[in-house]
Structure 1
Amino acid sequence: MRKRIYWLLPDLKSARATMDDLLLAHIEERHIHFVAREGTDMRGLHAANVLQTSDVVRSAEIGLLVGAGLGGLLGALVAVFYPIGGDEAQLGLVVPGLAIFGALFGIWTSSMIGISTPSKRLQRFAAQIERGQVLLMVDVSMWRVESIEKRLQALHPEAHLEGTEPDIPAFP
């Protein structure tokens, strides 16, 4: 289980030094994510990707639930009012089929919307990022959170700890 630690760094020089210190602390590069103002030269940093900076994951989860629910409901209505063979409702075939189709369609459409929506988790940092600060998100084992926080506080007094996210998504 991992937790995400948020840090605000004043500039790119500090961000690059922090990246080096995290690598020396044996944090894999794939668990380190930086967000900066658009157009910033992120050379030497592991920039956050669309999974970290957009609402695509949350939107896909909502699309899955809504799509499956509506698909199952539509499947039940179709099975009852328009039976495929004879007068018996074919609930066992139509309901799961339309629920699966609805879930897949819901994931697809919701993720298309979510990919263009900024992450709700990062909204609180938008003003600082626009002023030129750099956001660091580092995903660490729950057992190492305290030691990594202490290490960064000692090595980078210019950085500000902005908190820990208790439940990061499994894959971004």
Structure 2
Amino acid sequence: MRHRLYYFLPDIESARRTLDDMLLHRIEQRHVRFMSGNTPLPPDMPEASFLLKTDVLHGAAAGMVVGALLGIAFGALLIVYYDLGEATVLVTTFIGIIFGGWASSMVAAAVPNTQLKAFYPALENGKILMIADVPARRVEEIENMLAERHPEMKFGGEEPHIPVFP
């Protein structure tokens, strides 16, 4: 498992130095991402992905749950009123999961990530947010290294239990 660490950096140069230090401490570049409010990031800096910037994943999960519940209810109604087989519930549930996930992820794609809501004021003030997914056993080591080498950084928080896959 990984822990997601959030740090605020004052400028692009500080972000570059921090990225270099993360790479030197064997944190792969795909596990370090940056977000800025109104300052565009240079092309050599790994920018946060669409999935991280928006609420697509949260929206899809919520839509799947609601779709499954509605699919079960609709399937039960079909069985009661039209005397269809019990497999009807499985089919309507599956269709509900697919449609609910798709529909709500389309809506959530237009919504900024609610988990990052607390960081938006600082981003709009010109700060750069570094998001690093660090192996759980190395969190303390990386935090100490960053505190020692980058006193200009401000710790933004930690989110435990990030899945290993990208």
Give the TM bin, normalised by the shorter chain: over 0.9
Q: Deviations over 1:84-135 (max 9, x none)?
A: 4xxxxx12x1000000000000110011011111111111010110111000
AA in 2 matched with 1:74: F
Q: CA deviation at 1:170?
A: 5.7
* Residue matched to 2:121: 127
* Residue matched to 2:160: 166
The answer to whether the Cα contact below 8 Å between 1:8 and 1:135 also exists between their aligned partners in 2 is yes
* Residue matched to 1:136: 130
Q: CA deviation at 1:43?
A: 2.4
Report whether the alignment pairs 1:28 with 2:22: no
Q: CA deviation at 1:169?
A: 5.5
Q: Larger Rg: 1 or 2?
A: 1
Note the 1:37-52 alignment, pairs <5 A.
37-38=37-38, 40-52=40-52
AA in 2 matched with 1:97: V
Q: CA deviation at 1:17?
A: 0.8
Cα 1:106–1:169 change in 2 (3 A) is: farther
Partner Cα distance (1:68, 1:169) in 2: 24
Matched residue SS, 2:161: coil
* Residue matched to 2:80: 80
Q: CA deviation at 1:56?
A: 0.7
* Residue matched to 1:156: 150
Cα 1:170–1:110 change in 2 (3 A) is: farther
Q: CA deviation at 1:23?
A: 0.7
AA in 2 matched with 1:61: A
Q: Deviations over 1:134-156 (max 9, x none)?
A: 00010011101110011111111
* Residue matched to 1:87: none
Partner Cα distance (1:81, 1:7) in 2: 57
The answer to whether the Cα contact below 8 Å between 1:71 and 1:100 also exists between their aligned partners in 2 is yes
The answer to whether the Cα contact below 8 Å between 2:9 and 2:129 also exists between their aligned partners in 1 is yes
Partner Cα distance (1:71, 1:171) in 2: 30
Partner Cα distance (1:149, 1:43) in 2: 26
Partner Cα distance (2:38, 2:32) in 1: 18
Q: CA deviation at 1:66?
A: 0.6
The answer to whether the Cα contact below 8 Å between 2:54 and 2:109 also exists between their aligned partners in 1 is yes
* Residue matched to 1:15: 15
Q: CA deviation at 1:65?
A: 0.6
Structure 2: where are the runs of 5+ without partners? none
* Residue matched to 1:102: 96
Partner Cα distance (1:79, 1:167) in 2: 41
